[in-house]
Structure 1
Amino acid sequence: MTTFVDRVELHVAAGNGGHGCASVHREKFKPLGGPDGGNGGRGGDVTLIVDQAVTTLLDYHHHPHRKATNGQPGAGDNRTGKEGQDLVLPVPDGTVVLDGAGNVLADLVGQGTMFIAGQGGRGGLGNGALASARRKAPGFALLGEPGEARDVVLELKTVADVALVGYPSAGKSSLISVLSAAKPKIADYPFTTLVPNLGVVTAGSTVYTIADVPGLIPGASQGKGLGLEFLRHVERCSVLVHVLDTATLESDRDPVSDLDMIEEELKLYGGLEDRPRIVVLNKIDIPDGQDLADMIRPELEARGYRVFEASAVARTGLKELSFALAGVTAEARAAKPVEEATRIVIRPKAVDDAGFTVVLEDDGIYRVRGEKPERWVRQTDFNNDEAVGYLADRLNRLGVEDQLRKAGARAGDGVAIGAEDNAVVFDWEPTVTAGAEMLGRRGEDHRLEEPRPAAQRRRDRETERDDVSKEYQEFDPFA
């Protein structure tokens, strides 16, 4: 059964925002007390957060679909809907988040580092929030926005200071088991190590982590063996340690050629040229192993490598190796640039930025793109004429209609707001004040107006009676 997974495709869906409520306050002796519809609640976010206790992406391999809860709709009496609960997903330290095209969205390193993979939708405004001096009784509310849904790829790149690389059965797992408290599986056959093992080593005052990467073979950078799957785990390591088997039983191999092959695969993989290298001649407890180590050590040192001889079985040469790795690790840490304090960069909007664009496409459709108009369209209930008129007024105030005229749009031309796969398309009918005249005094109710004095009401009734009498006198049934 699989117990370690370092790459998964995750399907996340944030919660939808709750719809606003259209309601009128009613109580005794006050049947029409004004709009009191509450706003909808915000949808929950899907957030990835680094947790040091998590070491694998196995849980997301078995359950790749994750969804946050929706916000609740608003209610009368100005009651706001309950917000959706955020979904927090713990991931291992060193997780890289990519989109479907392979672009890096986030590099999560360090306990508590967070990334919002899916943004929850906004709740819609109720008619209580939409009321104004001009629109005293809105008969509509805004819809909640749908939550963000997308597919992301999670890749785990082990965060370690030292990486042990080498052929299968070179003794890497044995070394990490005696240098640290790690307990990897050790056996006398190739590819015993199927997953990276991580251990913590203390040498004097320096504490560092060491990773045992599954064995590499020729062609690993092109996918042969297990190399391609786990080469990503050496990307973050500061030091590379070549573990060479000086007691190999294969007649066509020797430590020097093994080193050349591993270096070639690392070169083909790329991005590791600047990492310091250390060579460990392992298994010197075997007589032939010691003889071969004495023979090839001068050649390796002539190439510029620091060479150490060690035996995990006999526990020889480990102290010198451990302190040498601590020194190189300390140097690598000191060479890293000091991280500056987080700065907030403010980029003011350009003076001529209207917040949207109008483009004439090849099929004759004028497409409107922009955060505000697209969000307003998603919030509109197109079964409510008053809501549609409110959308028309908002677009007109934003300047969409003026831009359509400048772009050459004429009455009856097709206009689409939004992306091709999710757009609202309509035939444009230019007006002076958008939709205001179509629906009359939209959002106004004379029953909510202030009561008139008695004398004024009497004069209005007399005027209305005179108008009716005049119409009756002028009526000719034989005309």
Structure 2
Amino acid sequence: MASRFVDRAVIHLAAGDGGNGCASVHREKFKPLGGPDGGNGGNGGDVLLIVDPNVHTLLDFHFRPHARAGNGKQGQGSHRAGAAGQTLEMHVPDGTVVLTESGEVVADLIGPGTTFVAAQGGRGGLGNAALSSKARKAPGFALLGEPGEARDLVLELRSVADVGLLGFPSAGKSSLISVLSAAKPKIADYPFTTLVPNLGVVTAGETVFTMADVPGLIPGASQGKGLGLDFLRHIERCAVLVHVIDCATYESGRDPLSDVDALEEELARYTPSLGGDLADRPRVAVLNKIDVPEAAELAELVRSDLEARGLPVFEVSTASRKGLRELTYALGSVVERYRAEQPAAEAQQIVLRPHAVDEAGFTVVRDEDEADSFTVHGHRPERWVRQTDFSNDEAVGYLGDRLNRLGVEEALARAGAEPGSQVTIGDVSFDWEPSTPAGVAAHMSGRGTDARLEDQSRVGAAERKEARKRRREGEPDEDGELDGAADDVTVRHGE
């Protein structure tokens, strides 16, 4: 069975998750507490798209759209780091364009070996050996690994061809590319014989160029009629556009000039997603099937009109091979001139754009719908929350210290937050309790605990909201008494 051509596919990628760090203490004879020795977790694997010259279609992605890289392994004791997750390499054809679901171009993959990181693996969490400090000599916790990036991307294949053949169905484009190159497209005497683009390599003296046979276009192709909308993208990279005109057509209402006008209107309506404008591409008109006497007479009549429009005109016959040599060398000359006009390719330069050292990198937003509720947005705070094991009080205290050093607590206070206010960072919401003020040494408690979290007597934001609701509705509280306006729900219980 013949292979199926697929030039568009939607893929769902998931990079590997980072491995968790290890919380371990070195133990040996006569040395029961030898210090923390938990290793770091391994990084998750990336998902890479690599251009492979041996791949010519996106068929594999059509049948297997889901892909996931390997997860990083957890760290172990004795300072043993976890293994990194396996990177997933996905091979794509030359000329593949990567887009988001909204149509934004993310990458244009041209040239064998070109690599694009489609999904970034998560970083492994630090072990307690890496978290130890003078103040926290034996941490009883480790950081969790970060989840890998998950993305839905659209892959579209844009043929890398120098010459694109355009024309109505049955204009003879497949026959032309079959006699000019070694390509063997399907040829038949009915419309829409070509259902997929065909590529062929043409040699004109010392010039070698590629030619693409685009499926037949009809009026309205740029709006989705026929097959044109699906395959117009294959002419975006072409240096020369060739109008293949059927001079032997028996359809009423068609003539070479109206065919050219109809195709040019569709090209003008089509907007290339790779940028540029098709209007500035060189054009060539090919009057085909002149071996038919009536077609030869029609070609003589319209030749002057096409030349008046600035189009080089060639009369050819794929059956008798008449005019093909002149056409081949003329196309080679136009391709060479177009290549010479293009700017020289420059070596890729690595540009480093480090963040400013004093940039906080976060914002605090008050929730307009909920009283005493605030949301913290920022890459670092959200990443730290994802790395925190909230079942370990010491890990939660470490998170509070990090947020305090970053300036989150000060920003919350300026925004109007009070102790007990609800704060949301990422997917986690909690009642805010200010940690130890900056400049005052924190009292370290036992491993896995934090003294600042032992006092849970403060009334939280949710309880305060419920109390205000009862006051407005005049309902009795848990003691059977009506809440008065003078009740202060922000004081500690028992005070």
> Is the TM value for this pair above 0.5?
yes
Query: Would you say the 8 A contact 1:135–1:442 is kept in 2?
Result: no
* Greater Cα shift, 333-342 or 240-249: 333-342
SS of residue matched to 1:308 = strand
- Shift in Å at residue 341 of structure 1? 2.9
Determine whether 1:424 maps to 2:428. yes
State the Cα RMSD in Å. 1.9
Q: How does 1:133-148 map to 2 (within 5 A)?
A: 133-148=134-149
Q: Which residue matches 2:170?
A: 169
1:395 paired with 2:396, answer no
Structure 1 partner of 2:297: 291
Counterpart position of 1:324: 330
**Aligned with 1:383 (options 367, 386, 391):** 391
Q: Secondary structure at the match of 1:344?
A: coil
Q: Is the 8 A contact 2:39 2:82 kept in 1?
A: yes
Q: What is residue 52 of structure 2 aligned with on the other side?
A: 51
Deviations 1:97-144 (A, max 9, x none): 111221111111111111111100001111121122221211111111
The worse-fitting range, judged by mean Cα deviation, of 342-351 and 278-287 is 342-351
Q: CA offset at residue 258 of structure 1?
A: 1.1
> Which residue of structure 2 aligns with residue 357 of structure 1?
363
Q: How does 1:41-440 map to 2 (within 5 A)?
A: 41-270=42-271, 271-350=277-356, 353-363=359-369, 364=371, 365-418=373-426, 423-433=427-437, 440=444
What secondary structure, in the 3-state scheme, does the structure 1 residue paired with 2:280 have? coil
Distance 1:275 1:349 in 2: 42
1: CA distance, partners of 2:203 / 2:136: 72
CA distance in 2, matches of 1:344, 1:2: 40
| Identical-pair percentage | 67
CA 1:372–1:442 in structure 2 vs 1: closer, same or farther (change >3 Å)?
farther
**What's the offset of the Cα at 1:413?**
1.6
Read off the aligned partner of 2:318 and give its amino acid letter.
A
Cα separation, 2, equivalents of 1:277 and 1:342: 32
Structure 2: which amino acid aligns with 1:335?
E
* Alignment CA distance shift 1:339-1:443 (3 Å): farther
Q: Which amino acid aligns with 1:408?
A: G
Question: SS at the partner of 1:273?
Answer: helix
* Residue type of the alignment partner of 1:201: V
> Is 1:6–2:4 an aligned residue pair?
no
Q: Output the CA distance in 2 between the equivalents of 1:77 and 1:299.
A: 85
Tell me if the contact between 1:136 and 1:443 (Cα under 8 Å) persists in the aligned partners.
no
Structure 2: segments with no counterpart, 5+ residues: 272-276, 450-495
Aligned AA (1:33): G
CA contact (8 A) 1:206 1:330 kept: yes
Distance in 1 (alpha carbons) for counterparts of 2:390 and 2:441: 18
CA distance in 2, matches of 1:392, 1:413: 15
Residues 314-365 of structure 1: per-residue CA shift (max 9 Å, x gap) = 1111111011001111111111122333233343534652122222232343
Following superposition of structure 1 onto structure 2, how do residues 436-447 of structure 1 map, counting pairs within 5 Å? 440-441=444-445
SS in 2 for 1:240: strand
The one-letter amino acid paired with 2:196 is V
Gaps of 5+ in 1: 446-479
Code of the aligned partner of 1:85: Q
Partners of 1:104 and 1:75 lie apart in 2 by 42
**Which amino acid in the other structure matches residue 202 of structure 1?**
T
2:166–2:243 Cα contact (<8 Å) kept = yes
Measured against aligned partners, the alpha-carbon deviations of 1:378-413 in whole angstroms (never above 9, x if no partner) come to 110000011111111111111111111122211222
**1-structure distance, mates of 2:108, 2:331:** 26
CA separation in 1, counterparts of 2:47 and 2:292?
A: 55
Q: CA deviation at 1:437?
A: 8.6
Contact persistence 1:393–1:433 (CA under 8 A) = no
In 2, Cα distance between equivalents of 1:441 and 1:346: 42
Cα deviation, residue 439, structure 1: 7.0
Distance 1:92 1:438 in 2: 58
Task: Give the AA of the match of 2:393.
Answer: D
Contact in 1 for aligned 2:45/2:71 (Cα 8 Å): yes
CA separation in 1, counterparts of 2:312 and 2:42?
Answer: 63
CA distance in 1, matches of 2:403, 2:241: 60
Contact 2:39 2:80 in 1 (8 A): yes
